[in-house]
Structure 1
Amino acid sequence: MSLKGSTQQFITRKIHVLSDADAWRYSDKEIIASARRNWPSNIYDHYIIFLIRYYTEGGEPNYMEFRFECKFACPLHEHQFRARKTKTRSGKLWTSARQCEERQQIKANPETTAQDRKDLAWICIQCSLLRTPPGSANMLLMIPGHVNSGPHDGSFLSSPITEGLKYIYSSLASVAFSHFQNVSGAFHLIVDGWTNITPTDSLVCVVVVWQQEGRVFRSVLDLAWVCDLRSEGFLSDFTSQCLERFGLLGKIKSVCISNAPHSEQLVQDLCVKHSNLRPDIRIMCYPHIVRLMAEAFISFLRPQPRVTLMKFINLPSEDESERTVEWGDRPLHHYLSEPDYNAEIVQWAVGKAHQRVRRLGLCVEDNVLQSAHGVLSKVKGLEQFIDETGFPELREIYWGCSEQGSDSEANIPTARPRAFGQWSTVWDSIDRCLRFQPTFHKLLDTNIPDLGGCFLEETQLKLLEDFHRCLQAFHKLGIILSRQEIPFLHEVVEELFTLRAHLEDICNDRLGTNLTSVARMAAAAALSAYELIGKGDMLPEVYSILMVMRPTHKLQWFEERGMNTQRISALVEAYFEENYPLIKRENDEEGLVDLVTAQTDNLKTYLSSSILSEKVIEERGGLLSYWNLERKTSPRVAQMALDHLTIPASSVDPTRTLSGGPVTTNGLEAQVDRDVFRAAMSIGSWFGTPVLKDIDAVANILEEHPCT
């Protein structure tokens, strides 16, 4: 090497140790060359390196920064930046380069690209359905055998899966937008998770429900974190953006949302933003209502709370019992968490029950109530004793005591073990305890230690038997609400009407079963909980439409319950004419076709016809299939029926219907970035719908992926 070449190389190396100010006089090429000679890693070969110079506002040199651009110009490989004088190593550059090289390997094998896309689509869907992070041990179990047996292991697919999830989700909105333009009928909006307002990591989940060809689908539009909902109106803006992206503006028929006070504001904000929405479109979350009714009922068997805060509502005194209850006007972040909120409502309902039984002339002594509050503690103590006993035969006897079976319609199917105290499991615990009593008394005679604390006095045993009998009134509603399919409002409204009537009979002692005064007061508390949460939740016409549009019910359902059918008929017919008008066809200049259609496709004709049996509806494929078939002869009436009979009764997903709690994520949000998390939580809910029918549909989306 010549002396000149050696000197130039020395100067180039020396530039790297200079400060930005001292190195400023050298060219970009010299500064980059100096840095490159001092970077030993070969990962830099993946990049084209540029130098960016920054100046102060006065035009003086400030600092320099390197920009690393992918040499393959892959649009998914974002540019990387690093300050010239930094101790940062090549970790981030290495990770992004490795991911890009994996993409290039997939792209470089055109003979297997189609199959690779299908495999990738399948794994992405599995990750979304099971909420499993890419690259995890569980993900390896999802990889098809022919992929896993190749020259690479499962980690090779971590990056393609991550980017595949993002790309599928980013494409979903446009795919759904195009599809929904050809879907007639209404859509129903759900805002899930919004009751969990205290934890900063709680989620808000915007969901849409719709029906096609007799099937109902529930899909996630997007998610947001509560900690991001700081600015006023953020949630309504966020929800509106979701509706706009998916082409659902002007198509929403109802909004199902939690029953917390702040939820009303969201509906009002949405109505202001969208003129087609009315305040009465809000549907309450009925699992929450039923759960609170049951909790209020059961609360008489539980220990009394030590502190009564009453932060949400003002409990009226006995003289003010008819005064309207008002919610607090505190800012959103000042409200309690959902468990505290529920406890406040239960306490209020118990207070109202005391007032109601006094008006009925029923006297409940304090010592009787005190004894009742210790019953469930003894039931729980017995279960703990059985679980901790060293005799397997005893456990088998106890846990085999319940007659609940998979074919039983009287009880809510519940897997054991489960947290004691959730209302859906209390009946099972009471049932086992009552059936175990003969064995329990034999054990007492043998003087087994620690068993005496579980002994139920005669009055307590009578209470337990009464509550066991009364709680069965909740079971049918529990079955409807806890099934895996979407519970519909028309089903819940009918059963809730029956439940309330039964509770009224219990409260007023019309059953002739000699129930204890505590059981009657508990029924009054359950009714009070409904009155607080459920009253005024929708206009009467919605309830009426739901029942009228069931061919097995029509007006006869109201007549059997002593209601004014003429008023209901007039109300529903007026709603039909206003919202489902007859539209004149372009090729029917004389109006003859419209005249014939109007004579058959109207609500009066439908209501005057005979009701159908459940068997006939089942033969047509079910209620929704029946109305889809009726579209051929009565399109307007059928559309009104489908729009209302598909209204959901729950704002939570089936896994949380009876237990409450936050949106289920399996901890995925802690293992992936937010974009991947949103994609994984959403994509699985679209799979199997007309928007994303099967794996081929997912693979077709990935075909447009720039690097697959």
Structure 2
Amino acid sequence: MNNHQELHDTHTARSIRGKAVAHMAELVVVISKRDNRQALGIFPKVTGLARKVHDSGSVASVFNGLVDTAKAAGKIKTDKTTLDRRCPTRWNADFDCLYAHSIFKIAGDLVDELSDVLSLFDEMTLHFSQSETPLISDSIGALEDLLTSLRNVRDDDETSDVVRVAACAGVMVAEKYISLTDECEVYSIAIVMSPDKKLDWFRSRKWKDEDIERIKNLAIDRWEESYKAFSKASTAPATSEPSNGASTGERRNRWKVVPTKITTTPNGPDRIQAYLAEPPISTSSLAALGGPISYCFLQEESTPSLA
């Protein structure tokens, strides 16, 4: 990271922090000077102790003795044997460092709360750091869920004020990036076209009815414009075909009933309206079929335009 980027990040963090402090103050959630000093001192203290445990043999010996005694007394239950160092360039290093202090019970309630908040980020980054490439619908969904969780922290009266203000800052950042997805229709359409999500995904997250209707119309319009042609053959109007020899030049029997060949109508299954009318399948069922991509290949024969 160059100096200019570091200065930019520092300025941005301070700006968001100031906005979060002001916003929460309007809700009568104010950080006292004492709480502010305590919060700012958390990482210097926990990282300093972790560094001493790793760098000093005498400190490590004392620490290990205390851990063994606490385990024998049943005060702590963990397979960990030491504290995690904080590495600024490694994902979730802040959480790992705080979590170790939390499980060894050498930190206060504030560290425990902060560790719980950071665990929200830990779960998400662990999921997306797996070898499988996440789909857009998964990424947006995870960001939406993270935003909801941070709002829960911000609005929890039983949580310490300093953690609530920090969560408010996180909400502001998440809302900023989620709002940018409105500039590209792909993000919302990707969720609509996920067979385990569809429009129910938005309803379950308490989206406004008018926003859900807008997204529905957006998906339908895009399908009509770009994908409807693929189902032209399967959505042709019902037609009658002669079966009494007229097509072969034979004399036609004028009394014989000509059977009608039934084909898929414009309201058939290979229409996005029919797709949206069906409830989403379960996530476990989708996984059993190999995921969204495999599911689309399986549906290609019956619903080519939707697949």
Structure with more of its chain in helix, by fraction = 2
The one-letter amino acid of 2:148's match is: A
Q: For residues 422-462 of structure 1, give each alpha carbon's deviation from its aligned partner in whole angstroms, at most 9, with x where no partner exists.
A: 45011111121123346xxxxxxxxxxxxxxxxx6xxxx22
* Corresponding residue of 2:183: 539
Report the alpha carbon displacement of residue 479 of structure 1 after superposing the two structures with TM: 1.8
Does the aligned pair in 1 maintain the 2:270–2:305 contact within 8 Å?
Answer: yes
Report the alpha carbon displacement of residue 627 of structure 1 after superposing the two structures with TM: 0.9
Report the alpha carbon displacement of residue 359 of structure 1 after superposing the two structures with TM: 1.4
Does the aligned pair in 2 maintain the 1:601–1:634 contact within 8 Å?
Answer: yes
Residue correspondence of structure 1 range 92-171 to structure 2 within 5 A: none
Match of 2:56 among 381, 389, 395: 389
Report the alpha carbon displacement of residue 492 of structure 1 after superposing the two structures with TM: 1.7
SS, match of residue 434 in structure 1: helix
The one-letter amino acid of 2:306's match is: V
Report the alpha carbon displacement of residue 395 of structure 1 after superposing the two structures with TM: 6.3
Report the alpha carbon displacement of residue 559 of structure 1 after superposing the two structures with TM: 2.0
Change (3 A) 1:373 1:481: same
Among all aligned residue pairs of Structure 1 and Structure 2, give the percentage whose two residues are the same amino acid.
23
**CA distance in structure 2 between the aligned counterparts of 1:343 and 1:534, rounded to whole angstroms:** 22
Match of 1:377 among 20, 44, 66: 44
The one-letter amino acid of 2:21's match is: H
Report the alpha carbon displacement of residue 500 of structure 1 after superposing the two structures with TM: 0.9
Match of 2:15 among 348, 352, 365: 348
Change (3 A) 1:635 1:402: farther
Report the alpha carbon displacement of residue 614 of structure 1 after superposing the two structures with TM: 2.3
Structure 1 length as normaliser, TM-score?
0.35
Report the alpha carbon displacement of residue 523 of structure 1 after superposing the two structures with TM: 0.4
**CA distance in structure 1 between the aligned counterparts of 2:47 and 2:136, rounded to whole angstroms:** 35
The one-letter amino acid of 2:219's match is: V
SS, match of residue 612 in structure 1: coil
SS, match of residue 131 in structure 2: coil
* Pair 1:604 & 2:251 matched: no
Report the alpha carbon displacement of residue 474 of structure 1 after superposing the two structures with TM: 1.7
SS, match of residue 305 in structure 2: helix
Q: Which has the larger radius of gyration?
A: 1
Match of 2:301 among 588, 607, 632: 632
Does the aligned pair in 1 maintain the 2:181–2:187 contact within 8 Å?
Answer: no
The one-letter amino acid of 2:130's match is: R
Report the alpha carbon displacement of residue 394 of structure 1 after superposing the two structures with TM: 5.1
Instruction: Count residues in correspondence.
Output: 270
Change (3 A) 1:395 1:580: farther
* Corresponding residue of 1:553: 197
**CA distance in structure 2 between the aligned counterparts of 1:437 and 1:388, rounded to whole angstroms:** 21
Q: For residues 122-169 of structure 1, give each alpha carbon's deviation from its aligned partner in whole angstroms, at most 9, with x where no partner exists.
A: xxxxxxxxxxxxxxxxxxxxxxxxxxxxxxxxxxxxxxxxxxxxxxxx
Change (3 A) 1:589 1:379: closer
Change (3 A) 1:566 1:589: closer
Structure 2 length as normaliser, TM-score?
0.75
SS, match of residue 147 in structure 2: helix
Report the alpha carbon displacement of residue 610 of structure 1 after superposing the two structures with TM: 2.7
Structure with more of its chain in strand, by fraction = 1
Change (3 A) 1:622 1:378: same
Match of 2:167 among 504, 519, 523: 523
* Corresponding residue of 2:139: 492
Match of 2:104 among 436, 448, 468: 436
Report the alpha carbon displacement of residue 544 of structure 1 after superposing the two structures with TM: 2.6
5+ unaligned residues in a row in structure 2: which ranges? 240-260
* Pair 1:570 & 2:217 matched: yes
Does the aligned pair in 2 maintain the 1:427–1:468 contact within 8 Å?
Answer: yes
The one-letter amino acid of 1:426's match is: D
The one-letter amino acid of 2:152's match is: D
Residue correspondence of structure 1 range 271-310 to structure 2 within 5 A: none
Superposed CA RMSD in Å reads: 3.4
